[in-house]
Amino acid sequence: MARIQLTFTCAALAVVGIASAQSAGLKLSPTNLLPKAWGNTYKATIRSKYLNETRTVNLFVPASFNTTKRKYPVIFLSDGEYNFEAAAVASYELEQSGHIPECIVAAIETPHRTQDLTPPGMGKFLAEGEEKGEKFLQFISKELRPALDLKLRSSNPNVLVGHSHGGILAHYAAATHRKEFPFILALDAPMHLENAWLVKKLDSSLQSGGNLRLVSLENRFGWQDADWNSFVSSAPKSWHLFRQKLSNETHQSMVFSGLYLGLEQLFGDFSVASVKDMSAPKAYAHYESLVKDYGAFVTPPQDVLQRAVDEITITGDGAAAHRALNALSNGYGPPENFDAMSKRIDVAAAKMKGQPSVDELQSMPKPTEEEMKPFLGIWDGTTTVEDGPTIHVTVSFSMKDGHAVGALTMHAPADEGGDHTEELSYIKVQPNGIDFGFLNGIFPQAIVDHMGRLKNGKLVGTQKFAGVYFVPIFGEPLPKWSFSLEHRNS
């Protein structure tokens, strides 16, 4: 592969902050097509040995490039002279909503589109000349993508988008170049041409495996139902295959809506909506697990990372907390208190060494009926916070399927929200007492552990956060809680 170097005008260097002044390959000129707050747009040219000509590529680079070390997936699309702005706007708006990662958009102009976008073997009549589709894909993967890697920190996954004839090449890439282009978005691809040549190509490729996400959005053209159903039923279950008809569009008008809906679908497991019901540690673990399909770690949404650093830190998982902190720093710029956050991670890891986690506390075997005899029934009393209010509480213990269960109810007047009940997820009988607690509903995600001991016929004690090492961010001491309960049935 020929070595590709980059050159930039002085203006481009000042805007994008790319530290290079000499090049002979990809040349960038600012175009300023979008608001500066979004990022920078360029008209780039690059000489291709595969296509034996110089090609023009319209580029969108997110604004975060200037201030971070993050790497960016790339959305490649043909018909760049027509569809660039629609792709850049759709990508930006989806990024801002947390549906997809920040991406570089590389829209390649295709002045000989029927030749560029026709796969070899599909028909020179269709191509109106040489079938250059394979050469076009080689140009992207072996020349354009390495040039973007070198100067714009591009990374996996590659997303290939094609409309109409471009959808033909996109499906061909899904069949023959899944390693290079695992994410495919085809807009109204005429799958019927040449006796369903593309369908047969995809069917014959199934035995080669690999990873694939294929979204086909259709209006005038697209798949036949029988062909699609057969392909889906035969494909690996791990593949993400999605097809939808955009009936309220036309073949030409569907480009923007297709880009928006298609990219959202391709990155469905990246979206903040996919982790909305997860704790921050589990959400971060989810984003790390995407490496298998994405081919690289992709920077998660900032809010997820910020919460993950705090919530993973207190669990004592120092390695994961440092990874999340570094991802936050590389993806959004180093926090002002980076050193302090790093130290907190190390302290928490040391304090939690050998201590049970929240999950371990909740999964401990519940006490037997024999162990629970002194505590079964209803306990009534109060809980008091230091320099704060006293709250009327009721705690009940019973047996279910041979194991202890329980609940704690905090009583309040209707105009203050009324009663609130928490099911006990942790119960452990102790010498002369019992520990019981529930998962805290807000940060910190910890067991609110009530450590009760029998004293003069009452169950008295204090409570703490268990399963984590939690110290408030600003170092203020936690308030002290105490409780006193009497056994109603005693």
Asked whether residue 89 is assigned to any structural domain, the reply reads yes
Structure-block tokens of residue 215: 């979204």
Buried/exposed code over 334-353 (b: 16+ C-beta within 10 A; e: otherwise): beeeeeebbebbeebbeebe
pLDDT digits (tens, 9 = 90+) for 360-378: 999 999 999 999 999 999 9
Tokens of 432: 């002369």
State whether residue 359 is helix, strand or coil: helix
Domain boundary among 223, 253, 268: 268
pLDDT on residue 490: 53
Q: Return d(Cα 216, Cα 166) in angstroms, integer.
A: 12
280 occurs within a structural domain: yes
> SS in 3 state form for 261-321?
HHHHHHCCCCCHHHHCCCCHHHHHHHHHHCHHHHCCCCCCCHHHHHHHHHHHHCCCCHHHH
Whether the per-residue pLDDT at 10 is higher than 70: the answer is no
d(CA 336, CA 324): 16
- Interval 475-484 mean pLDDT: 87
Asked if residue 444 has a cis previous peptide bond (ω within 30° of 0), the answer is yes
**pLDDT of 277 higher than 80:** yes
Residue 88: pLDDT over 50: yes
pLDDT tens column, 210-220:
999 999 999 99
pLDDT at site 351: 96
Claim to verify: residue 262 and residue 330 sit in the same structural domain:
no
Provide mean pLDDT across the span 100-117.
Answer: 96
Average pLDDT score over residue span 165-172:
97
Q: Are residues 411 and 457 in the same domain?
A: yes
- 147: CATH: 3.40.50.1820
Query: Does a structural domain hold residue 257?
Result: yes
- Identify whether the C-beta of residue 368 lies closer than 8 Å to the C-beta of residue 476: no
pLDDT of residue 449: 97
How high is the mean pLDDT of the chain?
A: 92
What pLDDT does residue 12 have?
A: 39
Asked whether residue 183 falls in the same domain as residue 169, the answer is: yes
Pair 155, 241 in one domain:
yes
H or E stretch covering 324: helix 318-332
Position 3 pLDDT exceeds 80: no
Six token digits for residue 430: 């102790």
Position 441 scores a pLDDT of 85
Reported as type and span, the H/E element at residue 12 is helix 10-16
For residues 109 and 160, membership in a common domain is answered with yes
Q: Which amino acid is at 322?
A: H
pLDDT at 266: 98
| pLDDT tens sequence across 291-340 | 999 999 999 999 999 999 999 999 999 999 999 999 999 999 999 999 99
Can you give the pLDDT at residue 1? 34
Q: Is the pLDDT of residue 445 over 70?
A: yes
Instruction: Find the mean pLDDT for residues 138-158.
Output: 96
Q: Which residues contact 358 (CB under 8 A, 6 or more apart)?
A: 315, 439, 445, 446, 447, 466, 467, 468
pLDDT at position 18 is 42
Is 330 a domain residue?
yes
The CATH number for 395's domain is: 2.40.128.120
Q: Which domain holds residue 124?
A: 6-268
**97 shares a domain with 26:** yes
Mapping DSSP to helix (H, G, I), strand (E, B) and coil, where does residue 153 land? coil
Q: Specify whether 23 is located in the same domain as 132.
A: yes
Q: Do 36 and 81 reside in the same domain of the chain?
A: yes
Same domain, 213 and 259: yes
pLDDT of residue 123: 82
Predicted TM-score of the model (pTM): 0.85
pLDDT bin (cut points 50, 70, 90) of residue 50 is very high
Q: How far is CA 184 from CA 166, 316, 381, in A?
A: 11, 40, 62
Please state the rounded mean pLDDT for residues 410-431. 92
More confident residue, 12 or 302: 302
Contact criterion met (CB below 8 Å) for 272 and 100: no
Q: Does residue 16 register a pLDDT over 60? A: no
Is there a single domain that holds both residue 316 and residue 389?
A: no
Quote the number of domains for the chain: 3
pLDDT higher than 60, residue 19:
no
What is the arithmetic mean of pLDDT over 350-357? 96
In this prediction, residue 415 carries a pLDDT of 82
Are the C-beta atoms of 329 and 337 separated by less than 8 Å? Answer: no
Mean pLDDT over 144-168 rounds to 96
Q: Give a yes or no: residue 1 inside a domain.
A: no
Rounded distance, CA 409 to CA 394, Å?
5
484, 389 in Cβ contact below 8 A? no
Last residue of a domain, one of 323, 354, 385: 354
Residue 338 lies in a domain: yes
Name the one residue in this structure whose structure tokens are 């959202």: 264
Residue with the two structure tokens 């552990």:
449
User: What gap in Å lies between CA 400 and CA 64, rounded to an integer?
Assistant: 55
- Residue 244 lies inside a defined structural domain of this protein: yes
Q: Which of 354, 380, 413 is the last residue of a domain?
A: 354
Whether 227 shows a pLDDT value over 50: the answer reads yes
Outline where DSSP puts E strands in 326-445: 377-385, 390-400, 403-410, 420-423, 426-430, 433-439
On whether residue 104 sits in a domain, the answer given is yes
* Length of the chain as a residue count: 490
Does 231 share its domain with 289? no
User: 113 and 146 in one domain?
Assistant: yes
